[in-house]
Structure 1
Amino acid sequence: MHAFDVLGDPVRRRILELLTDGEMTAGGLCDVIRREFGISQPAVSQHLKVLRDNGFATVRAEGTRRLYAVDTRPLREVDRWLENFRRFWTPPLHALATELARGKRERRLREQPPPTDDTTDHGRDR
């Protein structure tokens, strides 16, 4: 199965997102995915199998539990391929960052109290 076929499924993408925080048990993954997607435990297990078989996830036994983790190798391959297209979105993202910074600066300047004039003697006797 091609990497984009694996990543094309929203359930598998969500499983990988969950695993970015570290290892999770099969049961923990199943609970989240069943709640979010309303699919059965066997369906979740099938998605985990696709991720394992295609190198996107690793699994290790710890007692009676099976712990899943992300294997970043295929994701790095996808990232290398996407590098060819970053030139299309990098300049607009930099321009957006500049506009956001400009807006924050303007807002900060508007919210500052006006400068006080310390040169007046405020009615004091001379």
Structure 2
Amino acid sequence: MRYSIPRFWRERLNYYRLKAAKCLDCGRVLYPYTSVCRVCGSRNVVEVELINEKARLLTYTVIYTAGEGFEQKRPVVIGIVETLESKARILARITDVDIEELKTGIILEPVLRRAGEDGETGLIHYLIMYRPVLEKAGS
């Protein structure tokens, strides 16, 4: 897969900081970032980051098939998560989870994970994925 290094560089904050837009008129937080609120149409938005927010798993699917070159990544869990504080919804991969124990409503946290490598450019792709929040010993 050929991926443009300049494009990657321009979009890195959207991917790695979970840059979103908060509408100052209706209060909604929209991911990915947009300069116009998709709910009320206002242009009165500010940039916010969601990288430190935990999220609740709303729904998910498990993909057992994979295209050529991605066989080792099976199965892939894709979910829609909603951040606990800002209520932004994000489509993301779910990682570090036993599929048999996966259920909606669990609390997740964002983590940076290696997603792949572009053989032509040598660019290593990372993604923000979500994993279940680990229980601390003694809690």
TM-score (normalised: structure 2): 0.22
TM-score (normalised: structure 1): 0.24
Question: Whose strand fraction is larger, Structure 1's or Structure 2's?
Answer: 2
